[in-house]
Structure 1
Amino acid sequence: MQPKLDQLDWKILAVLQRQGDASAADVGEAVGLSQSPCWRRIQRLEQAGLIKRRVALLDRRELGLNLLIFAHVKLEAHGGNSMDAFRTAIADIPEVQECYVLMGQVDFLLRIVARDVEAYESLFFERLSRLPGVREINSMMAVSTVKETTELPLPSDLLA
């Protein structure tokens, strides 16, 4: 159950999702709290699961991962262990950044990064197409990024 959040909690969440490495003192200063009460609130938000973890966001292109691919995956069947076997296998592929179960014409949506087309081709034929129960994979390569964010939309009336 989600804890009741007040305006300060929402402000803390807003600061931390923009700057995850901010100290409790820095967050406190930004929201109008001293370090200790701010630290306690951050701890409570982490324990409640509202803050999963704080990470450094790396620039994939600066790291040579120039290709972004979205792949639709259809499985042969949905019964038995098909879905679970696919989920387990996909978790071990580091190039797959995100994997979602979908309802509709496809079963999974994958967000994949690769160095280049050749690297993706190799990943596709050597790993993805051999995953348990895969019937079809439709790959789409992104040509440019219009918007990319990790920030969730928080209630603006509580952030004022």
Structure 2
Amino acid sequence: MTDLDDIDQHLLRALSQDASLSAGALGRTLGLSQPATWRRIRRLHDNGIIAGRRLDLDHEKLGFGVTVFLGIKLATKGRVSLDDFERAVTAIPEVQTVEHVLGMYDYRLRVTARDISDFERVLRRRIMTLPGVGDVEANVLLSEERRPGPLG
């Protein structure tokens, strides 16, 4: 693990709230020059602490009003490799995240759809036809509250 000082912690907290901030703007809030701030950001990237930047889209405003979490239990773990399932499921554009988990299910998927009938189409035609799919449990998202991560 890389040692992070207070400035690194503040820098990560600020970037986690708004990853589009420039090194100059971050430096002004942290009392650092733009080059010094950029060197810290580069070091955090090089050490793998910052893995990338992500665009946060409002799915509802884009016409995707339904989010469903699926628990997937593979029926034939020996005959179908996990790689085959993961490759097939990540090719489905409505599947936002694929998490390999330990517990009742083997995978947890986050699926977005325009509405419930669109979700049913995705479920029947795409997800249920994936290699090795056995039991599926669906949980429809009613509301979501974003909580700050461990730094905020």
Give the TM-score taking structure 2 as reference length. 0.93
- The one-letter code sitting in structure 2 at the alignment partner of 1:47 is D
> Partners in 1 of 2:23 and 2:29 — Cα distance?
10
- The one-letter code sitting in structure 2 at the alignment partner of 1:61 is E
Compare 28-37 and 75-84 and name the one that shifted more: 75-84
- The one-letter code sitting in structure 2 at the alignment partner of 1:53 is G
Alignment partner, residue 149 of structure 2: 152
Structure 1 outlier segments of 4+, above 6 Å: none
Compare 77-86 and 16-25 and name the one that shifted more: 77-86
List aligned pairs for 1:75-86, cutoff 5 A.
75-79=74-78, 81-86=80-85
Q: Percent identity, aligned pairs only? A: 36
Shift of 1:79: 2.6
**In structure 2, the residue corresponding to 1:127 is in which secondary structure?**
helix
> Partners in 2 of 1:33 and 1:51 — Cα distance?
19
1:70-102 per-residue CA deviation (whole Å, 9 max, x = no partner) reads 101011132354322111111111211111112
> Partners in 2 of 1:125 and 1:81 — Cα distance?
20
The RMSD of aligned alpha carbons is 1.4
- The one-letter code sitting in structure 2 at the alignment partner of 1:126 is R
Structure 1 unpaired stretches of 5+: none
> Partners in 1 of 2:79 and 2:4 — Cα distance?
41
> Partners in 2 of 1:80 and 1:117 — Cα distance?
32
1:105-126 per-residue CA deviation (whole Å, 9 max, x = no partner) reads 2111111111101111111111
> Partners in 2 of 1:57 and 1:104 — Cα distance?
29
Contact 1:70 1:141 in 2 (8 A): yes
Contact 2:80 2:132 in 1 (8 A): no
> Partners in 1 of 2:94 and 2:11 — Cα distance?
32
